[in-house]
Structure 1
Amino acid sequence: MSTITEWMRFPATWTARAVRVRGHERYVAAQALKSALAAVLAWLVAAEWLTLPQAFLAPYVAVFLVETTVFRSLRQAVVQIGTVVAGVLLAATAEWLVPGQTAAIGVVVLVGWFVGRWRRFGSNGIWVAITALLVIATGAAGSPVMLGERLLETAIGAACGLVVTAVLFPPVYPVGDELGVLAREARSLLCDMAAGLGDEAGPGPGGWVRRTGEIDRMMDRAAESSQWARESVRLNPRPIAARVRDQASASDDVLDRLWYAVPALRELARVAEAASDGVLDGADDAARCSVPALLTALAELVDRIGDAAADPARFAEPVRFDEACGECADRLAELQRSAAGSADPRVAAVLGSFWHPAHRFLTAVQDTRRVPQSGQDHQFGG
């Protein structure tokens, strides 16, 4: 009984969420209303105004073209019209060359299936064969007027779907918080590694390499969010689109830096786990402290990246981390001196194994116009 009650209550709660909260429910409701409006508009034009004989094709196409972004709707319109044109031309050719309706149906479906595999058609390629099949089956293939009407009905539906998407609250997807979450997790990992290597009673490895796998997934989510933001502002007439475009551009800058830094972070985690067995315990104080100091400096650098990602007002300006980058460079130099001055080959090797990924990490997140041209790369064979 409780299940039936919940089922009956669901439409009301769903509608309330759509009205009160900006989220998935409201998006679904908006898309449904826009699809209905596009279908009605296409039907009025094709059936009431132009009185086309198969006017149902216009609203049919219009519903398919109410897309999540204006750019995607336009691209879908071009593809949809292309598949219909290909199907109509295929049907006309088969009507001319193939004797008999039954044989023509088989030929157009067979040939249309292969034509629809063209990558430009994407998932809509199947409509080449279906359109050709419908044209042959309805007897329109032998009449140029009827073929023209099919194309006109498709064009009307595409135009109505595109206009509704572009004019009626075209969606804009702002850059989300995924990039800030990514930066915070990378900083947390670096801090945990610094604490684990800097104190004999520290927390230990704690799955540092495993955590880089989650950072990879966060990177994918941040890239997807940025991609949706970029696409949603293309051809979008809303004033907010300009601000989101600036946010997406700056977000891409930060994302590019982290994209190349994450592989180096993964290598740092591997080296840190290997070094957590106490190989540095016998080293002198300078050598033992050089690695935690370097990791802490890198964490501070990532923290500044996270601050920039979390503050949309700072997206309009080039992201600069000169002070934090300088601190990381100093820590790298100290690590290099500690490795060169160590009398224990094992300690020198471990310090060198930290230097390489740390240097790659720093180079990746720095502004590419300010990458240091240092001869330090040759110290450890880099």
Structure 2
Amino acid sequence: MRQRRTEAPEQGRAARLRQWLGRALTGNGHERHTVVFIGKSTLAATAAWAVAYYVLKAESAAFAPFSAVLMLRVTVYQSVWHSLRYVVAVAAGVAVQLVFGFLFGTGLATFALVAATAATIGRWRRLGAEGAQVGTAAFFAFSTYVSAASGLERLSQLGEIIELVALGCGIGVLVNVLVLPPLRYRSAEYGVQVLARSLCDLMSDMYPALRQGELDEDSAAHWRDRASRLGPLVTQAQSSVDLARESSFYNPRRILRRHARDHAFAGYQAVIDALERVTYQVGSMTRSLTQYPKDGDGPEHAGFFRRYGDLLAALTDVTQLLGDLDEDRLDEQTTQLRAAAEDAREHCRRLAEYAQDSLPLADPSRPYGVLLAEATRLMEEAEYTCDVLRRTVASP
């Protein structure tokens, strides 16, 4: 009996790992992009190390792969822009060390002066997040400067640091451009897609277990953990709209299309805001599911969760449609979304009627009432998301 209890969690973890790998291979959500990022990081770092160490015979070859991985940004636009700022920040840090090292030597007071100056330059807002690299580069440069034997060798090695950083940045940007380029991130619709697909993946795993009465503490805790990890995707989705809007200023086609969909960014922002509320509602639902009654209430208990699973299956269809959002097919997709939302509303009505007739909703020791309220709010947020998208398409 004890052996059976220890095997079940291991089997559950193995099943979840297979599901994760399946989503990574066949989906286009968070799991897929995690795998892509790992692969591109490996390729960029290896290529940068090979060039720096085997071709250039550089003594500080690690600067190249380190810089290459940092340049694998969300968009190609970001990669290019951040690589320029990163090279400037590193050059500034090396320059600070070169000047103060030449003037004052390599004592502790000089290091303190280098650190203070680098920290001051790093606060320059034009450098953005790369400002911290001024100090990092200055400290590495100081270490290199101290260990060098002669003035000419010091100058050569400090110049090599800048060369390797520029090399790494170039390779990182090149890999981002040529290997599975994240072009979809240029469109605001991508933010809706990745968030909706992640929601779809989560609910796709939940509703079969609820329908079949296989809900257990381990599964509920796993769903809750996955729902808690949707928060960063909301932030990414919000950023995707800002990046798309920002990138459009550098796109010459904006002149030809400026009258086509000037309202698109505002519309996608509204949809993402609505999906953010759906995400929080799903998280709240998974927290409530961890408190489901262990002993149940007979067949009424199974009937409630079976209908709950039916509702989640219908909402999965809604999120799947949002995950396939295509700006060129919005008219067609909003019609499909309307039908899917109406189907989900019907399942929500059946769930509410069954619960009111068969279960003790007012009993605070039973979570049925809470779960029903969670399902109703989730349904309303999903409907509102579809309405926002429909109004975006209909607006002139």
Q: TM-score range by the shorter chain?
A: 0.5 to 0.7
Alignment partner of 1:353 is 2:355: no
Matching residue of 1:5: none
After superposition, residues 69-80 of structure 1 pair within 5 angstroms as 69=73, 70=76, 71-72=78-79, 74-80=81-87
Matching residue of 2:140: 130
Q: Which residue among 256, 273, 278 is the counterpart of 2:297?
A: 278
Q: Which residue among 312, 321, 339 is the counterpart of 1:323?
A: 339
Matching residue of 2:209: 192
AA aligned opposite 1:277? G
Q: CA, structure 1 residues 115+134, in 2 after alignment: closer, same or farther (shift >3 Å)?
A: farther
Deviations 1:322-364 (A, max 9, x none): 2332233344445556677789674698653232111222234
Matching residue of 1:50: none
AA aligned opposite 1:170? L
Matching residue of 1:85: 92
Distance 2:215 2:170 in 1: 59
Q: Which residue among 98, 102, 107 is the counterpart of 1:102?
A: 107
Matched position secondary structure for 2:138 = helix
Matching residue of 2:286: 266
Deviations 1:40-79 (A, max 9, x none): 99x6xxxxxxxxxxx9699886554334355346524523
Distance 1:350 1:28 in 2: 47
Task: Report if aligned partners of 1:62, 1:158 keep a CA contact under 8 Å in 2.
Answer: yes
Larger radius of gyration: 1
Runs of 5+ in structure 2 lacking a partner? 1-35, 124-128, 185-192, 248-267, 389-396
Matching residue of 2:23: none
Alignment partner of 1:172 is 2:180: yes
Matched position secondary structure for 1:301 = helix
- Aligned CA RMSD, in angstroms, stands at 5.8
- The normalised TM-score by structure 2 is 0.52
Deviations 1:103-154 (A, max 9, x none): 554444664786699664446733222324555776999x9xx98x998766
Matching residue of 1:296: 310
Task: Report if aligned partners of 1:191, 1:295 keep a CA contact under 8 Å in 2.
Answer: yes
After superposition, residues 197-216 of structure 1 pair within 5 angstroms as 203=214, 205=216, 207-213=218-224, 215-216=226-227
Task: Report if aligned partners of 1:258, 1:365 keep a CA contact under 8 Å in 2.
Answer: yes
AA aligned opposite 1:260? Y
Matched position secondary structure for 2:86 = helix
Q: CA, structure 1 residues 222+170, in 2 after alignment: closer, same or farther (shift >3 Å)?
A: same
Distance 1:103 1:340 in 2: 76
AA aligned opposite 1:92? V
AA aligned opposite 1:301? L
Identity %: 12
Matching residue of 2:187: none
Distance 1:111 1:140 in 2: 26
Distance 2:40 2:313 in 1: 39
Deviations 1:178-208 (A, max 9, x none): 9757634423423432443xxxxxx564645
Q: CA, structure 1 residues 343+364, in 2 after alignment: closer, same or farther (shift >3 Å)?
A: closer
Q: CA, structure 1 residues 170+162, in 2 after alignment: closer, same or farther (shift >3 Å)?
A: farther
- The normalised TM-score by structure 1 is 0.53
After superposition, residues 133-172 of structure 1 pair within 5 angstroms as 134=144, 157-167=164-174, 170-172=178-180
Task: Report if aligned partners of 1:339, 1:347 keep a CA contact under 8 Å in 2.
Answer: no
After superposition, residues 367-382 of structure 1 pair within 5 angstroms as 367-368=384-385, 370=387
Task: Report if aligned partners of 2:230, 2:279 keep a CA contact under 8 Å in 1.
Answer: yes
Task: Report if aligned partners of 2:196, 2:320 keep a CA contact under 8 Å in 1.
Answer: yes
After superposition, residues 5-154 of structure 1 pair within 5 angstroms as 28=42, 31-33=45-47, 36-37=50-51, 64-67=66-69, 68-69=72-73, 70=76, 71-72=78-79, 74-89=81-96, 92-93=99-100, 101-102=106-107, 104-108=109-113, 111=116, 120-122=130-132, 125-132=135-142, 134=144
Matched position secondary structure for 1:66 = helix
Matching residue of 1:245: none
Matched position secondary structure for 2:378 = helix
Task: Report if aligned partners of 2:92, 2:134 keep a CA contact under 8 Å in 1.
Answer: no
Task: Report if aligned partners of 2:49, 2:65 keep a CA contact under 8 Å in 1.
Answer: yes
**Count of aligned positions:** 307
Distance 2:171 2:243 in 1: 15
Pairwise CA distance, 1:93: 4.8
Task: Report if aligned partners of 1:39, 1:63 keep a CA contact under 8 Å in 2.
Answer: no
Pairwise CA distance, 1:278: 0.7
Task: Report if aligned partners of 1:182, 1:218 keep a CA contact under 8 Å in 2.
Answer: no
